[in-house]
Amino acid sequence: MKVSVVLEHLWRLFTAFQILSEHVDIINTRMDSEDDDAIYDDEHEDSYNESGSDQGDESDFDIDCDEPSTPKRPHVNDDFHYECLTPEALVSHMNDIIDEVNNVFQLPRPTARILLSHFKWDKEKLLERYYSGDQDRLFSEAHIVSPNRTNPRPVPSKRVNTRSSSASTEANCEICLTTTHVSTFVGLECSHRFCHRCWKEYITTKVMDEQVGEHISCPAHKCDILVDEVFVGQVVKDTKVKTRYHHLIANSFVESNRLMSWCPGPDCQNAAKANYHDALPVTCLCGYTFCFGCGEPVHEPVRCAWLKKWIKKCNDDSETSNWISANTKECPKCHVTIEKNGGCNHMVCRNNNCKADFCWMCLGPWEPHGSSWYSCNRYDEKDAQAARDAQAKSRQALERYLFYCNRYMNHAQSAKFETKLYSQVKQKMEEMQQHNMSWIEVQFLRKAVDVLCLCRNTLKYTYVFAFYLKKNNQSVIFEDNQKDVEMATETLSEYLERDITSECLSDIKQKVQDKYRYCEARRKALLDHVYEGYETDIWEYIDYD
Amino acid sequence: MSGGLPRRIIKETQRLIAEPVPGIKAEPHEENARYFRVSIVGPRETPYCGGKFKLELFLPEEYPMAAPKVRFMTKIYHPNVDKLGRICLDILKDKWSPALQIRTVLLSIQALLSAPNPDDPLANDVAEQWKVDENKAIETAKEWTRTVCQRQIVHTSLSGLYKSLCARYQ
């Protein structure tokens, strides 16, 4: 006992020292950071020009606060570059890749596209395979006719069913069973021919009803040769169908390509392209920031896979059944679910076919309880014990989930209110500028709200992380860090909401600045600790499934 | 394509009636030309030999761009047909081609009776039995064919008797 108390004291002293030293740091830096913000902005604009961002102020905070933590976190690498592409840029990017490959292959463009898409847009893999021999097999695997033995397309071939012997210029379409002039017949290199109208209807159905773009094959039975964009362009004239078709092609380009991801922002049609696949934040041209790894909003420090599980858990109604098992019991005879609605432990099952009498406490039959000399003291009876254990366990699991879920939801909710805070703060900033403060001097307020939002977001996801975390020494440290950030964040929130109205402006500035710098530092410490844990494999997880 | 019946369906129906496939009968319903009553005779040298299997076939609005819907009405012990009569056949699902026809679909079903495929099962219990003890499974299939057909014969002869009795006493 005594040892642990001493240890705890030591630990407190240590953290206090840490906090102190950070304050000293802050004071030191403040000496020469009067217009720090301005310099910062310039710097990052240079290094992040690649994102082609002119979205301005909103994205600044993101990078401002992230940047200092990059060198220490091996996870966040400087060499992660991304670019956001508008739908037009996306098509031209796709064409660039095709042209690049085609410099070598000299194939028709659509053929090269189908080959590339067969290899999930991995150029190297395709090139390697192309030159490792047996090209005919490669073509047939990609569902195209080898260009080495192509039949010219528009000429109707001998395969067409000529039913009436007299009219060699007439042919029977296998789809509509009508006889028309051969000039209306079209087809792919596989030499299956159908009339123009049937082709049009076939492609339209595939594109509009079945949402198939890339994988439309020749309509002949057992023929898997793919339709390409040139052919679609020839056959289909309806622009709606064509646009949809091109959209489907672009969609499979993005989805099959690991280095691309659609922006999940509302009504945004852009896609992001990165130099490698990782769970890192990407800010789209539309201003929406998301995780490149999974498309969810940025969710430091929890990993994509765990977040996915969490979201699934929150969405499905597994918790309903958890609630049921925590708050109800099953009739020991007919197993109908029962919620106790009165005080008496003598339960009579309402199920008309059952009507079992049992004791709510021990789930044993009521009979022995009923006699005046007997009361429910059958706690060590095996079945009843097992039933109670199961009940206690599920209740515990539910409580744990609710604990983390409540905190997660609370931060999500608060984050929503923070947007209101932006407008309040803006007002305050204007007010302050009328009180002899320069524009640059009041910027600290906006920055403080930025930090507040960032901390809330991080805190929100720390609860997801914690939910799946098994308790060990490191998890205790993590929880301490979490508590620290949370307390500081709450105080900052309070300053910004209430104390901001107080009169002494310089006083507020001092207080707010100190607090947000502290928040920033503690958030960074928390994240670093988690990422370090990922690297050194110290986190143990609870798998609830 | 609303309203009138597409030319293709009319042509197919005409040909089905004019040149029927041996062992297969398909007739459109009087009130709905897209609904067909089908019967397939169990192929020789299969456990279904001697049986006559009733099916229903429906051509959806999108036909021939979408596959027809086919279902066994007669009980059959087959690994690719479940107890509701639904059929596991690739050309009725993703391998459908508009170049296929009612005729080819029914031929494929007939072929499925000759060559059950327990590796791609729909009725798991039947497929299991087929894999574990093929002889026994074939016996069961024969047994089912016999009972079902006997019932059909009894049914038809009874209804024949009933009709003739009615005719006599009217």
Biggest CA–CA distance in chain B, Å, is 57
Interface residue B97 vs chain A (CB under 8 A): yes
A219 contact residues in B (CB cutoff 8 A): 97-99
ipTM: 0.81
Cβ-defined contact of B100 to A221 (cutoff 8 Å): yes
Cβ-defined contact of A222 to B100 (cutoff 8 Å): no
Q: What local confidence, expressed as pLDDT, does residue A18 receive?
A: 54
B6 contact residues in A (CB cutoff 8 A): 176
Please give the C-alpha separations between residue A337 and each of A340, A429, A460, in angstroms, as whole numbers.
10, 59, 35
Question: How many CB pairs lie under 8 A apart between chains A and B?
Answer: 38
pLDDT band at residue A54 under the 50/70/90 scheme = very low
Q: What local confidence, expressed as pLDDT, does residue A503 receive?
A: 64
* Tens of pLDDT, residues A409-445: 888 888 888 878 888 888 888 888 887 778 888 888 8
A199 contact residues in B (CB cutoff 8 A): none
B104 contact residues in A (CB cutoff 8 A): 221
Provide the CB-side half-sphere exposure for B15 (13 A, CA).
11
Q: What local confidence, expressed as pLDDT, does residue A497 receive?
A: 79
Q: Name which of A174, A205, A209 is nearest B99 (Cβ-Cβ).
A: A174
Residue of B nearest to A177 (CA): B8
Interface residue B10 vs chain A (CB under 8 A): no
Question: Which of the following is catalytic: B49, B88, B149, B166?
Answer: B88
* Surface-to-core class of residue A5, CB atoms within 10 Å of its CB (0-12 exposed, 13-18 middle, 19+ buried): exposed
SS3 per-residue string spanning A29-42: HHHCCCCHHHHHHH
For residues A145-164, average pLDDT: 56
Query: Which residues of A are tagged catalytic?
Result: 344
State the nearest Cα–Cα gap between A242 and chain B, in angstroms. 19
* Tens of pLDDT, residues A312-358: 888 776 567 667 766 777 777 777 777 776 667 777 877 777 778 88
Interface of A with B (CB under 8 A): 174-178, 192, 194, 198, 201-202, 205, 209, 219-223
Full strand arrangement of the beta sheet holding A82-85: A82-85, A271-274, A260-262
For residues A218-243, average pLDDT: 92
For residues B125-154, average pLDDT: 83
Residue of A nearest to B65 (CA): A202
Residue of A nearest to B66 (CA): A205
Interface test with A, best of B8, B16, B93, B107 (most A CBs within 10 A): B8
B99 contact residues in A (CB cutoff 8 A): 174-175, 192, 194, 219-221
> Considering only CA atoms, which of B24, B10, B34 is closest in space to residue B55?
B24
Please give the C-alpha separations between residue A178 and each of A184, B28, B48, in angstroms, as whole numbers.
12, 21, 37
B11 contact residues in A (CB cutoff 8 A): 177
Q: What local confidence, expressed as pLDDT, does residue A90 receive?
A: 92
Cβ-defined contact of B66 to A205 (cutoff 8 Å): yes
Which residues touch A480 (CB under 8 Å, ≥6 apart)? A15
Cβ neighbours of B80 (radius 10 Å):
24
Q: What local confidence, expressed as pLDDT, does residue A239 receive?
A: 92
Mean pLDDT of chain A: 78
The sign one gets for the Cα dihedral A196, A200, A206, A209 is negative
* Tens of pLDDT, residues A394-416: 778 777 888 888 888 888 888 88
> Considering only CA atoms, which of A231, A10, A26, A205 is closest in space to residue A110?
A231
Please give the C-alpha separations between residue A370 and each of A329, A347, A363, B10, in angstroms, as whole numbers.
21, 12, 14, 79
* Tens of pLDDT, residues B15-55: 999 998 899 999 999 999 999 999 999 998 899 988 889 99
Q: Which of A118-122, A358-362, B127-131 has the lowest mean pLDDT?
A: A358-362
Cβ-defined contact of A221 to B104 (cutoff 8 Å): yes
Cβ-defined contact of A221 to B99 (cutoff 8 Å): yes
DSSP H or E run through B122: none
Interface residue B105 vs chain A (CB under 8 A): no
Is the pTM for the entire model greater than 0.80?
Answer: no
A447 with A517: CB under 8 angstroms?
no
Interface residue B62 vs chain A (CB under 8 A): yes
Residue B67 has pLDDT above 90, yes or no: yes
pLDDT band at residue A14 under the 50/70/90 scheme = low
Cβ-defined contact of A198 to B91 (cutoff 8 Å): no
Cβ-defined contact of B7 to A205 (cutoff 8 Å): no
Residue A466 has pLDDT above 80, yes or no: yes
User: Between these two residues, A367 and A416, which has the higher pLDDT value?
Assistant: A416
Q: What local confidence, expressed as pLDDT, does residue A185 receive?
A: 92
Q: Name which of A178, A220, A222 is nearest B7 (Cβ-Cβ).
A: A178
Interface residue B5 vs chain A (CB under 8 A): no
Structure tokens at B157: 């002869």
Residue B1 has pLDDT above 70, yes or no: no
Residue A62 has pLDDT above 60, yes or no: no
Portion of chain A with pLDDT greater than 70, in percent: 75
Q: Name which of A176, A202, A223 is nearest B7 (Cβ-Cβ).
A: A176
B100 contact residues in A (CB cutoff 8 A): 221
Residue A2 has pLDDT above 60, yes or no: no
Q: What local confidence, expressed as pLDDT, does residue A499 receive?
A: 65
Residue A59 has pLDDT above 80, yes or no: no
A460 with A412: CB under 8 angstroms?
yes
